Structure 1
Amino acid sequence: MHDRQALDDSLRQLMHHTDTPGALTADALAERLSDALAAARSVLGVDGTGLMMLDERGELCVVGSSDPPSALLELAQQRTGVGPGVDCVRRDRTVTVDDLGAGGAYPRLWEFMVEADGDVLPFRGVASAPILISGRAIGTLNVMTAAAHRWTRERIEAVEAYANVLAVLLRLGAAAQPGTIAGRLLPDED
């Protein structure tokens, strides 16, 4: 469980220097996104984090993860086309799963993870928060727990706060580097 002061401090640190025009190069953006995933993992006390974004074809692709088991979950969602991250982007809202292995909404996802790497314990608890730009989801922040987990409103709001930071970073990266992946994926301003 996170504490509110640690969350506030973490979010403030991640947003440090975001008001400097042109300072977010493609390399700096990648580093800041990685920092945000690591901070979310640490402050929220979860076992893994992952970032997926829509590509030019409107398909989710893995952009980053905190560790190999997190990468497996992201890859499983990408390959099967099902999962809380997929539904999160389709619905433009946060999706939580207390226990992926309990035979609920995503048995195909669970089977894929177990078959892909039986040595890696698949994550059971997942919260997927949309990364919203201009009111629509262009990606998802996924946070995972190794054990089944009941997601409280407070924890969901904290995950959503990190997703909002990722949205700001992506918007700044697109503005500074229009040719980057962020610049290609983000909608033009009307």
Structure 2
Amino acid sequence: MDASSVLENVLTGMAELFGVDGAALMLLDGHDRLRAVGATDDAGVMLESAQERAGDGPAMESAARGGLVAIRDLHASSPTGFPDVAAHALPVRAVLSIPLIEDSELIGVLDFYTRAGRDWDSATRQTGSRLGELLVIVLQVLAESRTDIASPGQC
């Protein structure tokens, strides 16, 4: 199984475990810009693509703050929503964006989303943070396994 399949399965499992409609992942590129790299479904792809194009949205805000961003209704007016992103991310309504931190450095953002408005209470936010920590570990393992494959014969 390749890394993208593993990542897709992990995101799907996390969304199911968390009880949300989907999960999507953005990672920083070589120019420190968030780029969409995976999602559980088309709604997640649209959400991440809309944020990437707009340079705005919950993931961008989460990355800038280095903290969780909980949006009850993406379609609400700013500052509680992101209507410009929402217009291109139908049917996503609520988003919980979790910064992914490795060795004190931001590496990306994990977005959980629902198709209905949702309040993200403190217990839910804590669970989302833990899943974000788990995803960082998965990404580390995937990176290490690709390094191992790329340099066979080295001990």
Pick the TM interval, shorter chain: 0.7 to 0.9
Q: Deviations over 1:92-119 (max 9, x none)?
A: 1111101111213322212333xxxxxx
Q: 4+ residue runs of structure 1 moved beyond 4 angstroms?
A: none
The 3-state SS of whatever aligns with 1:177 is: helix
Instruction: Establish whether residue 137 from structure 1 lines up as the match of residue 111 from structure 2.
Output: no
Deviation at 1:45, TM superposition (A): 1.2
Q: Which amino acid aligns with 2:47?
A: L
Q: Which amino acid aligns with 2:122?
A: R
1:90 paired residue number: 64
Normalized per residue, which structure has more strand? 2
In the alignment, structure 2 segments of 5+ residues that lack a partner are 150-155
The one of the two structures with greater contact order (alpha-carbon pairs below 8 A, sep at least 6) is 1
Q: Which amino acid aligns with 2:24?
A: G
Paired with 2:19 and 2:36, the residues of 1 have a C-alpha distance of 22
* Number of aligned positions between the proteins: 147
Kept in 2: contact 1:40–1:159 (CA 8 A): no
Q: Alignment partner for residue 96 of structure 2, among 108, 115, 127?
A: 127
Q: Alignment partner for residue 65 of structure 1, among 39, 46, 51?
A: 39
Give me the CA root mean square deviation: 1.9
Paired with 1:70 and 1:176, the residues of 2 have a C-alpha distance of 26
Deviation at 1:179, TM superposition (A): 9.3
Residues 1:134 and 1:72: Cα distance change in structure 2 (over 3 Å)? same
In the alignment, structure 1 segments of 5+ residues that lack a partner are 1-24, 114-120, 181-190
Q: What does residue range 23-102 of structure 1 map to in structure 2 within 5 Å?
A: 27=2, 29-102=3-76
Identical positions, percent: 30
Kept in 1: contact 2:47–2:88 (CA 8 A): no
